Amino acid sequence: MKVLTALVATMSLAAALCAQARSPEASGRILRQEDVRQVAPALEKYTKDRLFGEVWERPGLSRRDRSIVTVSALIAREETAAMPYYFNQALDNGVKPSELSEIITHLAFYSGLGNAYAAIGPAKEVFVRRGVGVDEFAPASPELLPLNEATEAERERRVQAQFGAVAPGSFSIRPTSCSGICGCART
């Protein structure tokens, strides 16, 4: 348990340090790798060896998948300082700009709108630097495919066969048997 706690603490510190090292301003000044080495050489070594050596090189996930997990965690935690570094790393590891955009949008509903909006600035900064245009993203309201009338008619026939005809504006579905697995009293 102590090893796991130490690893999590090292990863959190490493993310902050990497972000600050790439951030134009970290508490009024730029934090460089050399600064870390001069003040906390063990932290610099653990970050390099453990996080970027062992953790990122494990065979269980590809670097691309690790990038998706990492940027998702950063967005969910609103760790904006680390985002530019890891957004760039994700793009370098094969995550498409449109996928980063979709991750931000998707997480708005799972980690909060504020967290998603907080990721917009760092993502825009990275996209602008890399020349990524808005035309590379999925449209906000994609054109829906036309309905397959034959399939819809068959679906309606199956619903009527199972539940009976339901008149518009009424709700009279005949009862069906229940397995009771849901915990209801009806069987």
Please give the structure tokens belonging to residue 63: 């670097």
User: Global pTM?
Assistant: 0.58
What one-letter code names the amino acid at 31?
A: L
| 119-152 per-position pLDDT tens digit | 999 999 999 999 999 888 877 877 777 888 898 8
Q: CA dist 135 to 25, 81, 129, 156, Å?
A: 31, 27, 16, 39
Q: Determine the Cα–Cα distance for residues 8 and 25; give it in Å rounded to an integer.
A: 25
Q: Determine the Cα–Cα distance for residues 44 and 57; give it in Å rounded to an integer.
A: 18
| 84-126 per-position pLDDT tens digit | 989 999 999 999 999 999 999 999 999 999 999 999 999 999 9
